[in-house]
Amino acid sequence: MEAVMVKDRVPPGIRQAAKFAIVGALNTVVDMGLYLVLAHWVGVWPVAAKVISYSVGVLNSFAWNRSWTFRSEASAWKTLALFVLVNLVALGLNAGVMHVCLDTLAAPELISLALATGVAFLWNFAVSKLVVFRE
């Protein structure tokens, strides 16, 4: 009997979603780490530090998702512009879901955060797969 690799048994879409989640976790580390360095060690105004760190996280996400998650060979500039737009919409969705959960539904903060993050993840993954990095 031949040994079957675990990755051969996992559907490609599930593998891509897992890679997308790993990249997202890495981006969180990049975003938070750079924010802390800029705001607390360099002395950059916290809001400016957050804009810079979040932007670097998005660029990191683009690079890893383009080369590793989706292995896209499409034009980097076109896909980058679309990827940034998709991420801006995700930011709006994230904030909107957070607002509805907290202020309309009076849901606990942790549940609101989890739902907002989940909606943004699903949006980002689906649109990245089907539009930005489509095969």
pLDDT one-digit tens code per residue, 117-132: 999 999 999 999 999 9
Supply the DSSP symbol for 113. H
Q: What is the pTM of this model?
A: 0.87
Q: Which of 33, 35, 122 is nearest to 86 (CA)?
A: 122
pLDDT (tens digit per residue) in 19-65: 999 999 999 999 999 999 999 999 999 999 999 999 999 999 999 99
Q: Sketch the domain layout of the chain as residue ranges.
A: 12-132
Contact 62, 83 (CB under 8 A): yes
Start-to-end CA distance of the chain, whole Å, equals 34
57 and 28 Cβ atoms separated by less than 8 Å: yes
Give the pLDDT mean for 70-77.
Answer: 94
